[in-house]
Structure 1
Amino acid sequence: MDDQRERRIKERAFELWQREGSLDGRSLGHWLQAEREVQEEDEAEAASRDVVGLAAAANPTH
């Protein structure tokens, strides 16, 4: 796992922990949820880049 992705997951897991009242015992659940959310964000960003790339290819400017 790259450092930037791990940092994003760690920050998101911490946000989830805080939102749930900073209770102990749910760190694995928070981490797994954060991983899913970061993965979804990355996939959405990649899909957006693909759409922009396709649009640019379909409408080239000379």
Structure 2
Amino acid sequence: MQDERERRIKERAFELWQREGSLDGRSLAHWLQAEREIKKRTKRKRRLAMSSA
């Protein structure tokens, strides 16, 4: 599960990097933003799953 989470973060960070013009020097910022987004999505999915159970 951790590998899947890390893969999703890596993919999202890459998307953010591309969206900003593929400039160097912002990899940490992209990674941290991707982590926040994935965490938020995961929490939302868990809430939805719990409310429908």
Q: TM-score, normalised by structure 1?
A: 0.83
- Once residues 20 and 2 of structure 2 are traced to their aligned partners in structure 1, the CA distance between those partners, rounded to angstroms, is 27
RMSD over aligned Cα atoms: 1.0
* Structure 1, gaps ≥5 residues long: 54-62
Shift of 1:4: 0.2
User: Displaced runs of 4+ in structure 1, greater than 6 A?
Assistant: none
Which of structures 1 and 2 has the larger relative contact order (alpha carbons within 8 angstroms, sep 6+)?
2
Q: Which has the larger radius of gyration?
A: 1
The alignment-based identity, stated in percent, is 64
Tell me how many residue pairs correspond in the alignment.
53
2:13 alignment partner, SS class = helix
1:30-58 superposed Cα distances (whole Å, 9 cap, x missing partner): 000000000000000000001101xxxxx
**TM-score, normalisation: structure 2:** 0.97
